[in-house]
Structure formats: C-alpha cells, structure tokens
Amino acid sequence: MHYAVYLAGEIHTDWRDSLIAASDGLPVSFTAPVTDHAASDDCGVAILGAEPDKFWHDNKGAKLNAVRTRKAIEEADIVVVRFGEKYKQWNAAFDAGYAAALGKSLIVMHGADHQHALKEVDAAALAVVETPEHVAQILRYVTEGTLPR
C-alpha cells in the first residue's frame, strides 16, 4: 500500500526536508502547501490584480492557496500538522480541523510548551510527536511493520 501524506503547518524551518529525507525508500508520497512565504501571501493580487484593502488582498490569496491545500488534504491518507515556535499558526489548526472532519489519520507535531494549548487538536490525532524523525518512524512502521532499533 502506498500512502499519500500532506505536510501542513510551519513553513519557516526545514522540517519537511528532514522528514522526506528520513522517509527515503518508503512507499509514501508527500504534498505540502506553497512554502514560499512571499508568493503565498501575494499570489492573489499577483495573478488577479491589486487590491487597495489588505483584507481583500489576503482574501484573494488565501482562496488561491485553498485550491491546493483542500485537494491535498482530501487526497491524503495521513495529514501531519506541525506547530512551530512563531506566529499564530491558525491556518495549521484550521487544516487539522479540516482533516479531522474528513476522517484523515492525523499526526500532530509540536514542542512540549504547546501541549496544553493544543489539547483539542492532539485529542483528534492518532499520534502526537516532537520531531520529523518520529513521523518517519511511524511511516516506516505502518508501511513495513518495522520498529526503530
């Protein structure tokens, strides 16, 4: 069985690269949102025309990004959501809720300091982890049945 894995959340560290490298050779494919922060913020007005009001500037962009993220979540078997140290990250929690409602297998990644604030999100997950390596070990176990030594 091949698994489609969507990597949601934090875009300011290289956690996706670490995870993908650690999963080398597994029957797994990864998708992600656009991780170029500037492009992600400005895609709406860059393509569809400028908006003087920041709300509509952001609205146009967020809707274009939704074309990609909703398809990726809907086609995923597993949704990994990482909460980093910076920013509000409400879109990460939104994606987690979206995935949970669709019955996706949810894996949440965050540091210990976010534990209490993320308790509702964690409670919807099949695993709560701290590092990309944990996710890779999970992917290895569910695809090959082997545990880390």
Q: Which of residues 29-68 bind a second copy (CB under 8 A)?
A: 31, 34-36, 39, 42-43, 46-48, 52-56, 58-68
When binding is defined by CB under 8 A, the residue of 24, 25, 86, 88 that contacts a second copy is 88
Residue 25 in the binding site for a second copy (CB under 8 A): no
Parallel, antiparallel or unpaired: strands 78-82 and 3-9: parallel
Which residue among 24, 25, 86, 116 contacts a second copy (CB under 8 A)? 116
* Nearest partner of 45 among 33, 29, 56, judged by Cα: 56
For tokens 């290289």, the residue is 14
99 scored as a contact of a second copy (CB under 8 A): yes
**C-alpha to C-alpha distance for 106 and 114, rounded to whole angstroms:** 17
Using rule CB under 8 A, residue 84 touches a second copy = no
Under 8 Å between Cβ of 81 and 107: yes
